[in-house]
Amino acid sequence: MDEKQYFVHNRYSFKDVGETAILVRFCNIGFLLLMLCACKDDRQSNSLNDVLDSGVLKVGTTYGLTTYYNGATGPVGFEYELADGFAQYLGVKLEVFPYYTLNELFPQLQNQHLDLIAAGISVSPERARKFKFGPGYQRVSEKLVFKQGKIWPRDISTLNGNLLVVSGSSHSESLRAYQQLNEQLTWQETDDKDVEELLEMVLSEELDYTIADSNILALMRRRYPELSIGFSVSPEQDIAWAVNKEQDDSLLAALIEYKGIIQSNGVLATLEDKYFGHLRQFNYVDTVEFIKAAKQTLPTYRPWFQAYANDLDWRLIAAMSYQESHWQPDAVSVTGVRGMMMLTLDTAKDLGIESRLDPEQSIKGGATYLSNLNQRIPDRIEYPDRLWFALAAYNIGLGHLEDARVLTDRQGANPDLWIDVKIRLLQLRQKIYYKTTNYGYARGNEAVIYVDNIRRYYDSLVWLDEQQPDIAVEANLATGNEQEDPSLTNSIE
């Protein structure tokens, strides 16, 4: 098995790479290390050797949706998973040091108490003067956020209210740049609240405006659809890890190689898709209607979703049912599928379902069918990819899904990764591809949309189910008098 195959089949686990393999890998970039370190003082310690000798990689981050937090099964977060992979790649233990503010975090790196910072921070000009940065792995822009229904601010000169941003953030840097052109621009900064709290303050009308990175905003708008975009405060910037500017570049060189490996083997794309891929498009009306239905309609059927979920999360079954029928027991499709889970007549008979229009029977049948599909996905395919495959098969059939996986393999991509297979599902509509498959033409694009929608609904249900009532911010669910602006349905850069 070559190196690329190894990392494909061990997607997030680098622990089997022994120290010898690590040293061999670093020999492959020996010239890069020599070039980067040639001008350094011989007495200066080698930052990579320091990590390898200690057996520990010390990573600083901040608490947040996409950075780091303790979930039900342990630490989670996009930045955490990337950092954990890097530590396993080096063959060392990961130690995460989470901080509440950026102003607390950056001095720890400058004082060499941390090896690097992985906190979803953008490479702003001011930060680039203070730190070295690894290769960018995501691009975001800064958005001015206001509450839907308020006067739409078209540019920085039209702001008329309180603007509060996180202290030490790139957002405050951007505002200082604007202030050089407009001395009347004022804002406040806080160390006591993070950007998620500031967005909630905008919703509760305690605050007129704040600024958020586009990736964070994409997640938050699934929870709070009234968060609207006024304008882009900055062009797109790289998100990257920071290392100490005074140290040699050996650790940075290892980081560059690690990023190259996970980019070439699909691990980076898979992680990015896991956290952000299904959030690219935002539809205000759909999100508002879903949250409304989750509060008003779902409680009627929730006991059945919980009772028949089998080995799956009941909230996933509920999200799938909303995608299928919007939780309408008498839903009927022109193709003949019926009920809350839109079962075909043949499938209902196979599952012993007597009435597809009976909500309890429909939920039981749909949940059982999805569980069966999930078990039929090859064992080597890991979660969550196997779950996305099962959902796609529910929509398009296992045969067409297998056709897409065969196309994926033929084209040199990984047939066990959803991020690769969903591209080939789109090809099932093109004759040049589907004429070579066993099951022929299929509307594969609908299966991709189907899975993405369910993932969005599922994320919202998890949040609605787990949020604390005393800190919940109620969305304004009124429809019919919404202000029309481009932020209602748009993509997040």
273: how many CB neighbours lie within 10 A of its CB?
A: 22
Amino acid at 179: Q
Q: Do residues 272 and 295 share a domain?
A: no
pLDDT digits (tens, 9 = 90+) for 377-394: 999 999 999 999 999 999
Asked if pLDDT for residue 356 goes beyond 50, the answer is: yes
Q: Do residues 327 and 256 share a domain?
A: no
Between residues 16 and 376, the one the model is more confident about: 376
Query: What pLDDT is recorded for position 280?
Result: 65
Give yes or no for a contact between 267 and 3, defined as CB atoms under 8 angstroms apart.
no
Give the domain CATH number at 104. 3.40.190.10
Structural domain boundaries enclosing 404: 281-466
pLDDT band at residue 61 under the 50/70/90 scheme: very high
Query: What pLDDT is recorded for position 279?
Result: 65
Q: Tell me, yes or no, whether 389 lies in a domain.
A: yes
Q: Do residues 300 and 327 share a domain?
A: yes
Q: How many domains does the chain have?
A: 3
Query: What pLDDT is recorded for position 74?
Result: 81
Instruction: Say if residue 480 is exposed, middle or buried (CB neighbours under 10 Å; 0-12, 13-18, 19+).
Output: exposed
Pairing of strands 142-147, 164-166: unpaired
Q: Do residues 14 and 97 share a domain?
A: yes
Q: Do residues 461 and 347 share a domain?
A: yes
Query: What pLDDT is recorded for position 72?
Result: 66
Hey, what are 360's tokens?
């309890």
Percent of the chain with pLDDT over 70: 84
Q: Tell me, yes or no, whether 490 lies in a domain.
A: no
Query: What pLDDT is recorded for position 182?
Result: 84
* Max avg pLDDT among 219-223, 225-229, 408-412: 408-412
Q: Tell me, yes or no, whether 324 lies in a domain.
A: yes
Q: Do residues 148 and 295 share a domain?
A: no
Q: Which among 324, 446, 466, 484 is annotated as catalytic? A: 324
C-alpha distances (whole Å) from 308 to each of 46, 230, 273, 368, 479 are 57, 44, 29, 7, 34
pLDDT band at residue 483 under the 50/70/90 scheme: very low
Task: Give the mean model confidence (pLDDT) for residues 248-258.
Answer: 94
pLDDT band at residue 274 under the 50/70/90 scheme: confident
Q: What does the alpha-carbon distance between residue 449 and residue 425 come to, in Å, rounded to a whole number?
A: 11
| Domain limit, last residue, from 279, 310, 337 | 279
pLDDT digits (tens, 9 = 90+) for 456-473: 999 999 888 877 443 333
Q: Do residues 193 and 214 share a domain?
A: yes
Active site residue 81: no
Query: What pLDDT is recorded for position 114?
Result: 96
Which residues sit opposite 490 in a β-bridge? 282
C-alpha distances (whole Å) from 86 to each of 7, 31, 68, 119, 383 are 12, 21, 15, 14, 20
C-alpha distances (whole Å) from 227 to each of 211, 215, 344, 475 are 11, 13, 39, 10
Q: What's the distance, Cα to Cα, between the start and end of the chain in Å? A: 37
Task: Give the mean model confidence (pLDDT) for residues 2-31.
Answer: 38
Q: Tell me, yes or no, whether 285 lies in a domain.
A: yes
Q: Tell me, yes or no, whether 415 lies in a domain.
A: yes
230: how many CB neighbours lie within 10 A of its CB?
A: 22
Q: Tell me, yes or no, whether 367 lies in a domain.
A: yes
Give the domain CATH number at 454. 1.10.530.10
Q: Tell me, yes or no, whether 484 lies in a domain.
A: no
Which is nearest to 255 in space by CA: 465, 83, 80, 6? 83
pLDDT band at residue 423 under the 50/70/90 scheme: very high
Q: Do residues 302 and 414 share a domain?
A: yes
Asked if pLDDT for residue 131 goes beyond 90, the answer is: yes
Q: Tell me, yes or no, whether 477 lies in a domain.
A: no
Q: Do residues 15 and 117 share a domain?
A: yes
Task: Give the mean model confidence (pLDDT) for residues 289-312.
Answer: 94
Asked if pLDDT for residue 64 goes beyond 50, the answer is: yes
Quote the pTM value.
0.67
Query: What pLDDT is recorded for position 481?
Result: 39
What's the chain's average pLDDT? 84
pLDDT digits (tens, 9 = 90+) for 155-210: 998 999 999 999 989 999 999 989 888 888 999 999 998 898 999 999 999 999 99
Query: What pLDDT is recorded for position 333?
Result: 83
pLDDT band at residue 38 under the 50/70/90 scheme: very low
Task: Give the mean model confidence (pLDDT) for residues 30-55.
Answer: 64
Q: What does the alpha-carbon distance between residue 282 and residue 169 come to, in Å, rounded to a whole number?
A: 25
Instruction: Say if residue 31 is exposed, middle or buried (CB neighbours under 10 Å; 0-12, 13-18, 19+).
Output: exposed
Q: Do residues 180 and 56 share a domain?
A: no
Percent of the chain with pLDDT over 90: 63
Q: Do residues 71 and 53 share a domain?
A: yes
Asked if pLDDT for residue 260 goes beyond 60, the answer is: yes
pLDDT digits (tens, 9 = 90+) for 88-120: 999 999 999 999 888 899 999 999 999 999 999
Query: What pLDDT is recorded for position 202?
Result: 96
Query: What pLDDT is recorded for position 466?
Result: 78
Asked if pLDDT for residue 269 goes beyond 80, the answer is: yes
Q: Do residues 403 and 263 share a domain?
A: no
Task: Give the mean model confidence (pLDDT) for residues 60-65.
Answer: 89
Asked if pLDDT for residue 312 goes beyond 60, the answer is: yes
